[in-house]
Amino acid sequence: MSALVQMRGIVKRFGDFTASREVDFDVAPGEVHALLGENGAGKTTLMNILYGLVQADEGTIEVDGREVDLKGPADAIEAGVGMVHQHPLLVDRLSVAENLFLGGVGNGTARGMQSAIAGITERFPLDVDPGALVEDLPMSQRQRIEIVRCLARGVRVLVLDEPTAVLTVDEVGDLFGEMRLLVEAGHSVIFISHKLSETARIADRVSVLRAGEMVGTWEVAKTTPAALAEAMVGEKVVAAERESECKAGAARLKLSDCTVRRDDGDGLDSVDLEVREGEIVGIAGVEGNGQRALAAVTQGMAIPDRGTVKLDDRELPPVREWKRRKIKLGRIPEDRRHEGLTLDATLWENMLTGPQAPTGGPVFSRRRMVEWAGKQLEEFGVSPPDPLALAGQLSGGNQQKVIFARELHSEPGTVVAVNPTRGLDLRAQREIHQRFLGLRDQGVAVLMISTDLDEVMALSDRIGVLYSGRLDGPHPADQIDRREVGLLMAGLTRQQEFENGNGTGGLL
């Protein structure tokens, strides 16, 4: 079997950082080849090199046995390599047709464009109005448009960069079906992922990258998820598990009939919710279904249009801003780089901006605060625990730990977290999950709003699902399974599912 794509000895450095260390990688014709690795392992860098977006410092690339010099995406497409990015690179405010045409099927004027587009959609059907603006379409359709655009340009190797991150469970099934069709038609697909379950489902072969090095390539049928996980992190992984019983007590956080009006379904529609001390309530859902509004009202950042949010029987947010720091509410924001930390400031300064830093009044001793911050950072496992380091220099996992240290050192009674482990590698994820379980065992009420279904399923004592601003549940974790949560995320109720009689269809 001669390789369709052969990358040899690829080295790429960004300053002092080596993103790719002598990586060899090959793709056979007609296969789905998964590229697996933690965030920061160098998957996207390697593929950006193959797509000409980034130029390698050393190494060669062969396509069809011929060495190619990829100076830009145009060269890659010419060689037959196309890439669909994690966030589809379409121009939002142009129409579907214009975006298809932008792919460079030719030059010309309006009429020429129209016939070119008609030619594309005839070969690759799209059930979208070609005149629709891309910004009005859901992610799954945008992805499909980008795939079609690649195919229209005669691409034989399609790189999909974490395509499932923005899809619902059902849509993932559709995408995988399409990938199979492509492979049958003789294309090859490179599937970038950090999810083992998906890789096992779709890939023929899998290559694992770790810290910029190629650990190895296996046939999926001849390996196990545990072996792949070990290859990814370099040590045995045990998923965080809820070992202890949930001892839920009194309600801490209480939403009644909470409504936040928005036109795009990203508001809240009469949500009732209680979070009790000693439990983790996980809220699953695809992004854009009210998560942001729920986070804002429960973190004391916004007032609902209707209904109330109460923390320990007092209304949120408190009328006086300075009181917000005294209400024992820990806040893990969604975007740690913009909302969570001041990246240009040192860690001790960041620590000080949190609630109840022991400054001892308006004037504080810098030396004592640095010392205090250092102790906290060490306790929360931040590496390096250097209070004088800049927040922007830390890895994502360590940044998140700094936020945890800041929010949790004062022992809050309630913690509201949004996507707490997004973008973190497995090890950091596990540490943060352990931290959540620890909080729960200490009797803290935890509300975790997350788009990562695995995370919600693994940690939650009760699980709710947001869809289009409405909250289903929360249901006790032992009364709802992963498949049901998946259906709710896609907007189907359990009742509907039952009536349609396809309750046995295995989606996962």
Partner 1 sequence: MSDFLDILGSTALYATAVRLALPILFCALGEVYAERAGLVNVGLEGMMLCGAFAGVIGSHYSGSPWIGALVGMIAAIGVAAIQAGVSINLSGDQIVVGIALNLAVLGITSFLARAIWEGGDVPKVDGFSDFAMPLLSDIPVLGPILFKQGALIYVALVVAVASWWILTRTSWGLRLRSCGEDPRAADSLGISVFAYRWKSMIICGALAGLGGVFLSLGQLFTFSDNMSGGRGYIALAVVIIARWSPLRALWAALIFGICEALALRVQVTDINVPAELMLALPYVVTLIVYAGVIGKSRPPKALGREYSRG
Positions in the binding site for partner 1 (CB under 8 A) = 51, 53-54, 72-75, 77, 83, 85, 89-94, 98, 101-104, 106-110, 112-113
Nearest approach in angstroms of CB 307 to partner 1 is 30
Using the minimum distance from each CB to partner 1, give the nearer residue, 85 or 462.
85
Q: Give the β-pairing of 205-210 and 188-193.
A: unpaired
- Measured from the Cβ of residue 130, the count of other Cβ atoms closer than 10 Å reads 18
Q: How far is the CB of 13 from partner 1 (least distance, A)?
A: 13
Strand order in the sheet with 306-311: 268-276, 251-260, 306-311, 314-315
Sequence-separated (6 or more) residues with CB below 8 Å from residue 144: 126, 128, 178
CB of 392 to partner 1, least distance (A): 17
**Crossing angle of helices 366-379 and 396-408, rounded to 10°:** 110
- Return the number of the residue (22 or 98) whose C-beta is nearest partner 1: 98
Q: Cβ 245 to partner 1, closest distance in Å?
A: 50
Q: How far is the CB of 92 from partner 1 (least distance, A)?
A: 7
Q: List the structure tokens of 112.
A: 């020429």
Buried b (16+ CB within 10 A) or exposed e, 88-105: bebeeeebbbbbbbebeb
Q: Within 10 A of 108 (CB to CB), how many other CB atoms are there?
A: 12
Pick between residue 51 and residue 467 the one whose CB is nearest to partner 1: 51
List all residues 6 or more positions away from 301 whose beta carbon is below 8 Å from its beta carbon.
Answer: 295, 317
The nearer residue to partner 1, 85 or 435, going by C-beta atoms, is 85
* 3 state DSSP class of 331: strand
Q: Which is nearer to partner 1, 103 or 340 (CB)?
A: 103
Place of tokens 């979208």: 128
User: Nearest distance from residue 338's CB to partner 1, in Å?
Assistant: 17
Query: Which CB, 73 or 288, lies closer to partner 1?
Result: 73
Helices (H), 318-395: 347-352, 366-379
Q: Which residue type, as a one-letter code, is found at position 63?
A: V
Q: At closest approach, how far in Å is the CB of 95 from partner 1?
A: 10
Bridge partners of residue 346, in order along the sequence: 390
3-class SS of residue 180: helix
Question: What distances in angstroms separate CA 456 from CA 82, 203, 414, 461, 481, one per listed residue?
Answer: 34, 25, 18, 9, 11
Q: Is the Cβ of residue 121 or residue 434 nearer to partner 1 in the bound state?
A: 121
Shortest gap between Cβ of 330 and partner 1 (angstroms)? 36
Q: Which residue has the tokens 């250092």?
A: 374
CB 495 within 8 A of CB 485: no
| Cβ 106 to partner 1 shortest distance, Å | 7
Decide whether 75 or 305 has the Cβ nearer to partner 1.
Answer: 75
- Tell me the angle at which helices 225-233 and 426-441 cross, rounded to the nearest 10 degrees: 100
Q: Which is nearer to partner 1, 85 or 187 (CB)?
A: 85
For residue 161, the minimal CB distance to partner 1 (Å) is: 11
Q: Which is nearer to partner 1, 1 or 110 (CB)?
A: 110
